[in-house]
Copies of this chain bind each other. A is one copy, B any other.
Amino acid sequence: MLITVINPNTTESMTATIGRAAEAAAGPGTRVRAVTPAMGPVSIESHYDEALAVPGVLAEVTAGEELGTDGYVLACFGDPGLDAARELARGPVVGIAEAAMRTACYLGRGFSVVTTLGRTTGRAADLAEHYGVARFCRGIRACEIPVLELEDPASDARGVITEECRRAVAEDGADAIVLGCAGMAELCAHLSAAVGVPVVDGVAAATRTVETLVALGLRTGDRDEFASPPAKRYTGILAPFGAEC
């Protein structure tokens, strides 16, 4: 089975991190292809970044279809372009926020999200509402660490995030923690050990979820809403996204 894991930002080192997390999670017989879009922001830290990450994501889905991808992971916690990607792909598409939050629901009565910047917590809250898990979400906590500093050893990201996870358990009464950024994937085992509750990394959760859907022959229902988009002309620099290209 071929799973294409799309890092919606354009930072290759983060794609590498994400790819390692997906591979570690995948079962035998699954090939993970982690890709970086050819266009878009180097990190996603605002609604603006999130929106402009989508064209690159969709281009990767189109490319992935040509390569015979069986299913996709969208590896940014805002799940950018999820509905559109589902129209394009023959197989299933899963976002890491969706997968992480739904997976956390199996682990107890409530979870807290620990994420990077405070300005992204609104999007996380939106998604919790959208996916029907708001009632189980006990808190959304920001560490105020910019996304690309997660990889910087000088940032003490690990220490700050660990501390925020501890607070989520003590103050929110969270039974589980959801990591709110794909860039935190490699901290997952450390955090779980340090904090004593299950910690869900969305990249791993989404990769396994896609594997499950593909293994069970489940794809997006393609009647009406999620059928292939009607072919039409696009203009300007986005012309290549249209039917005439």
Q: Within 8 Å of chain B (Cβ to Cβ): is A212?
A: yes
Bin the interface of chain A by size: 35 or more
Q: Are B132 and A236 in contact (CB under 8 A)?
A: no
Query: Cβ of A43: which chain B residues have Cβ within 8 Å of it?
Result: 232
Q: Within 8 Å of chain B (Cβ to Cβ): is A90?
A: no
Interface 0/1 of A120-138, CB less than 8 Å to B: 1111011001111111100
The number of times this chain is found in the oligomer is 6
Interface 0/1 of A196-220, CB less than 8 Å to B: 1110110011001101110111111
Q: Are A236 and B38 in contact (CB under 8 A)?
A: yes
Q: Within 8 Å of chain B (Cβ to Cβ): is A28?
A: yes
Q: Are A105 and B130 in contact (CB under 8 A)?
A: no
Q: Are B229 and A45 in contact (CB under 8 A)?
A: yes
Q: Are B107 and A236 in contact (CB under 8 A)?
A: no
Interface 0/1 of A44-57, CB less than 8 Å to B: 01111111101110
Choose from B52, B103, B120, B238 the contact partner of A218 (Cβ within 8 Å).
B103
Query: Cβ of A204: which chain B residues have Cβ within 8 Å of it?
Result: 216
A43 to B133, CA, bound (A): 32
Q: Are B102 and A10 in contact (CB under 8 A)?
A: no
Q: Within 8 Å of chain B (Cβ to Cβ): is A70?
A: no
Q: Are A56 and B236 in contact (CB under 8 A)?
A: yes
Q: Which residue of B lies closest to A57 (CB)?
A: B51
Choose from B42, B47, B131 the contact partner of A105 (Cβ within 8 Å).
B131
Q: Are A223 and B47 in contact (CB under 8 A)?
A: no
Query: Cβ of A211: which chain B residues have Cβ within 8 Å of it?
Result: 27, 208, 212
A98 to B136, CA, bound (A): 14
Report the minimum CB–CB distance from A208 to chain B (whole Å): 4
Q: Within 8 Å of chain B (Cβ to Cβ): is A143?
A: no
- Residues on A lying within 8 angstroms of B by beta carbon are 10, 25, 27-29, 37-43, 45-52, 54-56, 58, 81, 83-84, 86-88, 92, 94, 98, 102-103, 105-109, 118-123, 125-126, 129-136, 146, 169, 173-176, 189, 192, 196-198, 200-201, 204-205, 208-209, 211-213, 215-221, 223-227, 229-230, 232-239, 241-242
7 residue pairs bridging A and B, Cβ less than 8 Å apart: A27-B28, A41-B234, A47-B83, A122-B225, A132-B132, A176-B221, A201-B216
Closest 6 CB pairs of A and B: A39-B236, A175-B221, A46-B229, A47-B83, A108-B221, A208-B212
